[in-house]
Every structure is written in C-alpha cells, then in structure tokens.
C-alpha cells in the first residue's frame, strides 16, 4: 500500500510526461532559434512617406508592373505623359528602391531591368 517505490505504471507515466515536456521545449527552441526568413515571412516593403498612392495600394501590389509598362507605352508610343504618374514620381513617396521595390522583388526572385536606364534613389 504505502510502499516507497512507485508502481511501474506511474513511473513510466512520469517519464512519458517528461518526454513530452522535453519535446515541446525542443520545438520551442527550434522556433525561436530559426533564422529570420526561413518561415518565408512576407517581404516588408518600406512605408510610403505620404499618400495616397496613384492607385489603390491593393490593386497596385498586383498590377504595378503592368501599370508601369502601360505608362511606358503611353509615353513613348503615344506621347502622353502624366508627370504625377511617371516612374520617377513613385520615388516621391516610395523613396528607396532597395527598401521598397527590391525587398519584394528579392522575395519573388524577379529583377526588372528598369533601373539600368531609369533613375531611382537607392
């Protein structure tokens, strides 16, 4: 009845519990120690210095490439130039190519060649 030695069943339950706790701690440690980015954390483009964007930001996120290319066609082929929506105007609000454009582009591994010709602040 009051034997100092635990019945076998209880003992194994204790070590099972310890095992679970150990495993949880290990998993927690892995989570904490994993380098930033290995979770494929979404890119964090720098906030614009002011707004609003020339189009709805949600729309812009998906369509800025077509928007820019369309603008190029309009300017170069048809001679329409809207200064407020020109390429360089983006930089009034999105002031750094590295901290804005490149953060997303690195994430999706695209490297538009626009900056070879177009000035955009680093």
* Neighbouring C-beta atoms of residue 94, cutoff 10 Å: 19
Residue 96 interacts with ligand HEC (CB under 6 A)? no
Stretch in the footprint of ligand HEC (CB under 6 A) among 6-14, 21-29, 30-38, 111-119: 111-119
* Residues 89/119, Cβ–Cβ less than 8 Å: no
Residue 21 in contact with ligand HEC, rule: CB under 6 A: no
The answer to whether 101 and 118 are in contact (CB under 8 A) is no
Residue found under tokens 């709805």: 56
Residues that bind ligand HEC (CB under 6 A): 45, 47-48, 50-54, 57, 60-61, 64-65, 68-69, 71-72, 75-76, 85-90, 92-94, 100-101, 104-105, 108, 110, 112-114, 116-118
């Amino acid at each position: 009845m009051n034997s100092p030695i635990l019945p076998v069943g209880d003992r194994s339950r204790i070590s099972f519990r310890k095992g679970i706790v150990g495993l949880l701690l290990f998993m927690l440690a892995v989570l904490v120690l994993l380098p930033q980015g290995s979770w494929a954390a979404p890119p964090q483009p720098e906030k614009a210095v002011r707004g609003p964007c020339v189009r709805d930001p949600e729309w812009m996120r998906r369509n800025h490439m077509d928007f820019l290319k369309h603008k190029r066609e309009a300017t170069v082929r048809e001679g329409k130039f809207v200064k407020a929506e020109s390429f360089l105007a983006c930089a009034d609000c999105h002031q750094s190519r590295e901290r804005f454009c490149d953060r997303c582009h690195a994430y999706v591994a695209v490297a538009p060649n626009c900056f070879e010709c177009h000035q955009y602040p680093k």
